[in-house]
Amino acid sequence: MHRQNYSFEKGTERILQKTAKPVQVVFLVNIVDYFSQVKPQVDMYMKEYNGNYGTEDLEKEFNQFYKCCMDSQVKRES
C-alpha cells in the first residue's frame, strides 16, 4: 500500500504468453484514504492495457498508471 514502484516478475509474462489470445489485461489501483473522511474511503482506478506482454513493458506501464492515480488522488484531496 505504501510502495511507490512495483516490480513484476517473469511469471506474469510467461502466463500471458501461454494463454490463448485475445487476453484482456486490466490494471487496478486501490487507494485507501484514512484522513479525508471519518470512515476510510477506497478509490479504485482501472485501465485496460493493450501493449506488449513483456515483463518490463507491463511494469513500466503499470508504474506510470500508478503515478497518475496518485497524482489524481492528491489533486482531488486538495
In angstroms and rounded to an integer, the radius of gyration of the C-alpha atoms of the chain is: 15
Q: Which domain holds residue 21?
A: 10-77
Residue 28 domain flag: yes
Q: Which three cell numbers stand for residue 12?
A: 506474469
- Tell me whether residue 60 is in a domain: yes
In contact, 31 and 43? CB cutoff 8 Å: yes
Is 3 a domain residue?
no
Render pLDDT for 17-55 as a digit per residue (tens, 0 to 9).
Answer: 888 888 899 999 999 888 777 888 899 999 999 988 899
Q: pTM (2 decimals)? A: 0.84
Please count the structural domains in the chain: 1
Whether 5 is covered by a domain: the verdict is: no
